[in-house]
Amino acid sequence: MKTQQHIAILGSGNIGLALAKGLVKAGIFTPQQITLTRRNTAALSALADEGYHVTANNAEAVAQADIVVLAILPQQLNKLLDEIKPAANQTKHLLISVVSGVSCQDIRTQLGQDVQVIRAMPNTAIAIGHSMTCIATDNASAANVSLVLSLFDTVGVSIQINEELMTSATALCACGIAFFLRSIRAASQGGTEIGFHAHDALKMAAQTAKGAADLLLQLASHPEQEIDKVTSPKGCTIAGLNEMEHNGFSSAMIKGIKTSAEKAGALYKSE
Ligand SMILES: NC(=O)C1=CN([C@@H]2O[C@H](COP(=O)(O)OP(=O)(O)OC[C@H]3O[C@@H](n4cnc5c(N)ncnc54)[C@H](O)[C@@H]3O)[C@@H](O)[C@H]2O)C=CC1
Ligand SMILES: O=C(O)[C@@H]1CCC=N1
């Protein structure tokens, strides 16, 4: 799906850079087709050496782009929208926002009602082509929705959801990367306590987690169905699993995800 279009990523921090690297790795864009903006461009000098356009001038980046991605923090958004408003050509640009807690309407209120806005919620696994990305819009054309879905499909799996569920998607999928990473880290710490060197324990825990996820994705089965295959009667798995549940394992994950979703919904409004 190689494209001739030019994309500007405004805000080249963790997710902006992960997106840029993922798109290049997937062969959709060359670095020369991507403009990265950041206030301190010195931090992007290695990327400039790789061929990316690097600038602190957001308006200029927008003027030269077909697709504009907003990848700044919610509290940085209003200032940036003020900066790009004169350059945001309402017919030319497709605007993709990955900013948590900011609605399509919030963005149009500042840029103009005709701007087509699509929200996207990827996660940092986008850098290696394994993101779970949810997208939503309240005014973009079906053609642009298809374009954005196919763009994110090249760097993982993408689905369209109702905009009202975007903060939930943020918690489950974007924050979720951290939750699963912490689970793997905890498993590796357990592994070290029962005899493995830390680096071996981490590798063993990560590969085991990958296998568990792939069992669900490749067999389209349910976790409990796969768990039942592991838990031998009077065995060690059910003993460990029940001990974890007595200590609130599932409950902690559920409560954490609910808290993250509430926080994601309040990120912009609390500014
Ligand atoms: N980090 C993640 O896993 C994900 C983050 N998001 C959302 O993406 C957005 C960015 O998050 P992160 O990448 O984690 O934050 P970050 O702090 O790593 O990146 C933001 C970048 O924007 C730059 N910036 C700030 N104001 C600017 C301006 N006026 N012009 C150009 N650059 C400017 C900052 O220097 C920084 O490099 C947030 O809204 C977040 O909610 C969404 C999905 C996943
Ligand atoms: O922690 C955050 O606020 C951002 C949004 C999703 C992932 N990181």
The residue from 166, 197, 218 where one domain ends is 166
Q: What pLDDT score does 91 carry?
A: 64
Q: Taking the CB of residue 222, how many other CB atoms lie within 10 A of it?
A: 10
| Number of domains comprising the chain | 2
Residue ranges for the binding site?
Answer: 58, 71-74
67-98 per-position pLDDT tens digit: 999 999 999 999 999 999 988 866 678 999 99
Do 130 and 245 have their domain in common? no
Which of 104, 133, 166 finishes a domain? 166
* Ligand 2 binding pocket includes 123 (Cβ within 6 Å): no
Mean pLDDT of 53-60: 97
User: What is the Cα 266 distance to its own chain's centre?
Assistant: 18
Question: Is residue 38 lining ligand 1, measured as CB closer than 6 Å?
Answer: yes
- 2 within a domain of the structure (yes/no): no
Q: What ipTM does this complex have? A: 0.98
Pick from 143, 166, 189: which residue ends a domain? 166
Residue 44's CB: how many other CB atoms inside 10 A? 21
Q: Is residue 1 part of a domain?
A: no
CATH of the domain at 114: 3.40.50.720
- 144 and 194 both lie in a single domain: no
Yes or no: say if 163 and 103 are a contact pair by the CB < 8 Å rule: yes
Q: How does pLDDT run across 222-231, given as a tens digit for each residue?
A: 999 999 999 9
92-114 pLDDT, tens digit each: 789 999 999 999 999 999 999 88
262 membership: H or E segment, kind and range? helix 249-266
Give the mean model confidence (pLDDT) for residues 109-136: 95
Q: For residue 64, give the H/E element and its range.
A: none
Predicted confidence band of residue 48 (pLDDT cuts 50, 70, 90): very high
* pLDDT of 151 higher than 80: yes
- Residue 202 covered by a domain: yes
CB atoms within 10 A of CB 240: 12
Which of 14, 15, 119, when mutated, tests ligand 2's pocket best, judged by the most ligand atoms within 8 Å of its CB?
Answer: 15
Q: What percent of the chain has pLDDT over 90?
A: 93
Compute the average pLDDT of residues 201-212: 98
**Span of 76-80, 177-181, 266-270 with lowest mean pLDDT:** 266-270
Is residue 145, in this structure, part of any structural domain at all? Answer: yes
Query: Residue 92: what pLDDT?
Result: 75
Q: What share of the chain in percent tops pLDDT 70?
A: 98
205, two tokens: 């825990």
In whole angstroms, how far apart are CA 220 and each of 26, 97, 156, 217, 226? 26, 31, 17, 5, 11
Q: Does the pLDDT value for residue 271 go beyond 70?
A: no
> Is 97 close to ligand 1, i.e. is its CB under 6 Å away?
no
- For the segment 24-33, the average pLDDT, to the nearest whole number, is 94
Residue 160: the pLDDT is: 98
Q: In this model, does residue 251 exceed pLDDT 90?
A: yes
Whether ligand 1 lies within 6 angstroms of the CB of 11 is answered as yes
Kindly state if the Cβ of 22 falls inside 6 Å of ligand 1. Answer: no
Same domain, yes or no: 185 and 150 = no
Same domain, 16 and 88: yes
State the average pLDDT for the chain. 95
219 is in which domain, residue-wise? 176-266
* Residues that constitute the known binding site for NADP(+): 71-74
Contact (Cβ atoms closer than 8 angstroms) between residue 8 and residue 35? yes
Question: What Cα–Cα distance (Å) separates residue 256 from each residue in 16, 170, 185?
Answer: 25, 12, 17
Indicate the annotated binding residues for NADPH: 58
* For the chain, counts of helices (H) and of strands (E): 12, 8
